[in-house]
Amino acid sequence: MKIKGKHIVISGATSGIGLELTRQLYSDNTVIVIGRSTQKLEALAEELKGISTFCADLANLDQLETAASKIVAEFPTIDMLINNAAVQNTPKFTDQDFDYSSIRDEVTINFTAPCCLIHQLLPALLTSNKASIININSGLGLVPKTTSAIYCATKGALNIFSQSLNYQLEDTNIDVQQVFLELVETPMSQGRGSAKISAKSAAQKIIEGIALGITEHNIGKVKLLRLLLRIAPSIARKIMKKY
Ligand SMILES: NC(=O)c1ccc[n+]([C@@H]2O[C@H](COP(=O)([O-])OP(=O)(O)OC[C@H]3O[C@@H](n4cnc5c(N)ncnc54)[C@H](OP(=O)(O)O)[C@@H]3O)[C@@H](O)[C@H]2O)c1
């Protein structure tokens, strides 16, 4: 089933997976994107004519609220919210270059912002015939690696939050879905790992899962990770520790 005629809000649409999701959903839907760089949003609007762009640095919740209220004023009905924007800081707490001030921003962008965006867009999502919230997650939200401790923790929090929110919204028109991605070739994963899938392929798989209404969509190697977690959790942890 094709996703067609929907009002779709996507955060972090100016790079990597968010950009590919935007490109693939744009022709059949009204895509409304949130990005932090006006320059990148202008380039996107140039490429995809008619797309609606809203600028907000999601580390700043005042900017998020302003953008969200503008979106709801312009689009009183929203059918889909894809919480995709995130950052991943790799330095360890013991590293010389560990930036203390990065902790708050990473938690805000990866966890607080998706929660706030959902809350702010809820009135518009509730007016849809059938709405979905899609939270983009990672295998690292299930089992952590050694570096990127804050990133792993925010994705773990997003996982638990998504499940609880799904209970809260059980009697409404809104479904909460999560996508657990394996490594994808994007600026975020640059210089790390091998055998990555392309952002284009990741976006295709994500869209297929959304269309099928899969609540927890495990992509690629995350399927194997889930299996290992059931039958040999200590092996799963050992593998992921060095990831
Ligand atoms: N790549 C992977 O291997 C992988 C694996 C598992 C899960 N994921 C998840 O997939 C999603 C997309 O990641 P990606 O790999 O496509 O990363 P990416 O290429 O780095 O893109 C991240 C997007 O988030 C935006 N963003 C970051 N900080 C922001 C802020 N403060 N305010 C507004 N927007 C902000 C970025 O904006 P700019 O363009 O301005 O930088 C960019 O558009 C994330 O949720 C990530 O955790 C990725």
Residue 33 counted as domain residue: yes
What confidence score (pLDDT) does residue 119 get? 98
Residue 103 counted as domain residue: yes
Q: What is the pLDDT of residues 52-80, one digit of tens each?
A: 999 999 999 999 999 999 999 999 999 99
What confidence score (pLDDT) does residue 243 get? 77
Spacing, Cα 59 to ligand 1 middle (Å): 13
Residue 170 counted as domain residue: yes
Range of the domain at 107: 7-241
Spacing, Cα 231 to ligand 1 middle (Å): 32
Secondary structure (H, E, C), 140-188: HHCCCCCCCHHHHHHHHHHHHHHHHHHHHCCCCCEEEEEEEECCEECHH
Pocket test for ligand 1, best of 39, 81, 117, 184 (most atoms within 8 A of CB): 184
Residues with CB under 6 A from ligand 1: 12, 14-18, 35-37, 40, 57-59, 84-87, 109, 136, 138, 181, 183-184, 186-189
Q: What is the pLDDT of residues 114-156, one digit of tens each?
A: 999 999 999 999 999 999 999 999 999 999 999 999 999 999 9
What confidence score (pLDDT) does residue 169 get? 98
Residue 107 counted as domain residue: yes
Is this structure's pTM higher than 0.85?
A: yes
CA atoms within 13 A on the CB side of 70: 14
Nearest-angstrom CA–CA distance, 201 and 199: 5
Residue 2 counted as domain residue: no
CATH number of the domain residue 158 falls in = 3.40.50.720
Residue 21 counted as domain residue: yes
Instruction: Reply yes or no on whether the pLDDT at 85 is more than 90.
Output: yes
Query: 81's torsion region: left (phi>0), alpha (psi -120 to 50) or beta?
Result: beta
User: Looking at ligand 1, which atom is closest to the CA of residue 137?
Assistant: 7
Instruction: Reply yes or no on whether the pLDDT at 98 is more than 90.
Output: yes
Residue 110 counted as domain residue: yes
What confidence score (pLDDT) does residue 2 get? 87
Average the pLDDT over 167-173 and give the result: 98
Pocket test for ligand 1, best of 178, 188, 218 (most atoms within 8 A of CB): 188
What confidence score (pLDDT) does residue 224 get? 96
> Count of domains in the chain?
1
Residue 105 counted as domain residue: yes
Nearest CA to ligand 1 atom 46: 86
